[in-house]
Amino acid sequence: MSINYKNIFLFSLVLFLFSTQTFALGERVAKLADNVGKKVGLGMTAAEINRDADAALAKLLKTTPAAAELAKKAKAILVFPKILKAGLMVGGQHGEGALKKNGKTIAYYSTFAGSYGLQAGAQSFSFTMFFMDDEALKYLNSSDGWEVGVGPSIVIVDDGMAKSMTSMSMKESVYVFSFGQGGLMAGAGIQGSKITKINPQK
């Protein structure tokens, strides 16, 4: 049986274009939800973000010794207490968080991301970013929408890594912990998330 390479090429091209457009659509959906939520007042207030961020950070530090060790040396800690992720083929995720320095909130941020592929349903999770040097923190503050994975070196800490980390091995610029009700999660789609500074209502 002969193989029609032309048809295989055209089919592959269609799949590539579809996936590219779907990913772009996912990003637009997530960004639109982010913008609409802010305009109609669906976003969390500063007090609500602080309350939930403090609770999420306290839980992480209590259950994860590696995070507690990082907190002692971090220049600042960005906490997103609840990231909501939902989709059916095309998906999006969004959340709001607080940047903590010396135990006090110094700024607020939102995060969103689009996605595509075999996905259906919804989930929520938290993630916390430990900024270990001034350059990484400066990059966050100077970026007009920072895409995680571009810029400062980032390590996403899973359960196995958290158990083996020592103060001697903590040499990267940013450490990220994704966690939910069941403990640490393997990334939870953090790469590609865009983080933008916001000014929530008090």
Gap between the Cα atoms of 75 and 92, Å rounded: 30
CA distance readout (Å), 95 to 15, 16, 105: 31, 29, 17
Question: What pLDDT score was predicted for residue 168?
Answer: 59
Gap between the Cα atoms of 123 and 138, Å rounded: 31
The position carrying tokens 């906490």 is 79
CA distance readout (Å), 199 to 27, 34, 136, 161: 22, 13, 21, 35
Tally of structural domains, the chain: 1
Phi, psi of 135 (to 5 degrees): -65, -40
Question: What pLDDT score was predicted for residue 2?
Answer: 47
Gap between the Cα atoms of 3 and 42, Å rounded: 55
- Beta strand residue intervals within the chain, DSSP E: 76-101, 104-131, 146-147, 154-157, 174-180, 183-184, 194-198
Rounded to the nearest 10°, the torsion over CA 176, 29, 82, 36 is 130
Gap between the Cα atoms of 179 and 159, Å rounded: 10
Structural domain range at position 17:
5-198
Question: What pLDDT score was predicted for residue 35?
Answer: 53
Gap between the Cα atoms of 197 and 180, Å rounded: 24
Percent residues over pLDDT 90 in the chain: 34
Question: What pLDDT score was predicted for residue 97?
Answer: 95
**Residue 91, C-beta contacts closer than 8 angstroms, at least 6 positions apart:** 26, 29, 85, 114, 115, 116, 119
CB-based contact 114:123 (threshold 8 Å): no
Q: For each of the chain's 202 residues, which pLDDT tens digit applies? A: 444 444 444 434 344 444 444 445 445 544 554 554 444 334 689 999 999 999 999 999 999 999 999 999 999 999 999 888 765 545 567 889 999 999 999 999 998 876 544 444 567 889 899 999 999 998 888 767 787 767 788 888 877 777 777 665 677 889 999 887 666 766 555 666 788 999 999 8
- The count of other CB atoms within 10 Å of the CB of residue 76 is 19
Question: What pLDDT score was predicted for residue 153?
Answer: 81
